[in-house]
Amino acid sequence: MNELDVVGVRVEMPSNQPIVLLREVGGDRYLPIWIGPGEATAIAFAQQGMAPARPLTHDLFKDVLEAVGQQLTEVRITDLREGSSTRSWSSPAAWRSVPGHPTP
């Protein structure tokens, strides 16, 4: 497993599709993940320290984790197939993974 950092949000041309660009820690490989415009805006806001006008779904998820004393420590991309990815999310208290659904 390779650790990745978020480089930022980019727009792929000519399709004008937003992507989040991840970079391998200590390496020179990149992983683009195609996302929607709402997700792109949320990531860009977070990287700039800006808050949206109202909380978004991921803000609620973060608040619920904090309320029950948990922390998201790891997200694993467990499968890449035909432009879709499947992820697992882990918390140290439960040591369980919750599979994410494939996203185009």
Domain ranges of the chain: 1-52, 54-104
pLDDT in tens, 24-37: 999 999 988 888 88
Is residue 89 scored above 80 in pLDDT? no
pTM for the complete prediction? Answer: 0.67
Residue pair 9/43 in contact (Cβ under 8 Å)? The answer is: yes
Classify 42 as helix, strand or coil: helix
Is residue 70 scored above 90 in pLDDT? no
Dihedral sign for Cα 101, 19, 70, 52, please: negative
Helical (H) or strand (E) element with 34: strand 30-34
Phi, psi of 22 (to 5 degrees): -105, 145
| Listed residue (87, 100, 97, 72) closest to 31, CA to CA | 87
